[in-house]
Structure formats: structure tokens, C-alpha cells
Amino acid sequence: MENICIRLDSGLSKRIEKEMKEFNYSTKTDFVRDAIRVKLRELDAERDKKNRAWEALFAARGALKGTVPPRTAAEERELEKKIDQKVRRHYEKKFGISLK
């Protein structure tokens, strides 16, 4: 175990003593250790939240590029038309033919 030394102003120290009695901490050290554990869990939760946000943003990159999956039948038909036109143009250009 590693030792650390901290200095607290008297108001904070008195508040810790009051909370120690109410929540049954035997020493200030136990109180501070528990407070550090709680803070570390909060930081982990915040990191997870941030990672989930980045993952959601990465997953939505198609929406940001304008390639949102269709939500309605009309949107799906419009998307199929665009894809069909792109494929047709590709093969017309590649083989020098007209597919109309």
C-alpha cells in the first residue's frame, strides 16, 4: 500500500468528521478511500458514456455523408432508382453501350 499526504481546510475536515459519524466510517482514511473509489467509478462511467457517444457518431457516419438507410417505402424506391442509374451508367461507360 502506498501512503499519500493531503491537507484539508478545517471546514472540509469537520464536514468529513460529521459524515463519518452519520455513515459509520471508522477513520478519515476509510472515508477518503471510499470517496476516491466513488470518484474513480464516476470517471469510468463518464469514459464509457463518451466511448458510447463516439461509437454512435461513428455508426451514424453514413447519415452524415448522406447515405441514410431508407425509412419509408418511397425513400427505398428512390434509393433503388439512384443505385440503378449509377450501375447502368457504369456498365454503359465500361462497355460503350446503352441500356435504356
Name the one residue in this structure whose C-alpha cell is 452524415: 64
Q: Which of 32, 40, 24 is nearest to 5 (CA)?
A: 32
Residue 68: predicted pLDDT:
64
Looking at residue 25, its pLDDT comes to: 96
Three-state DSSP state, 37: helix
Nearest-10 crossing angle of helices 28-59, 10-22: 90
| pTM of the predicted structure, to 2 decimals | 0.55
Calpha distance 58→60 (Å, rounded): 5
pLDDT of residue 77: 86
pLDDT at site 86: 84
The reported pLDDT for the residue numbered 13 is: 95
| pLDDT for residue 87 | 84
pLDDT, block means (10 residues), the chain with 100 residues: 93 95 94 96 93 76 61 84 84 78
Q: What is the pLDDT of residue 28?
A: 94
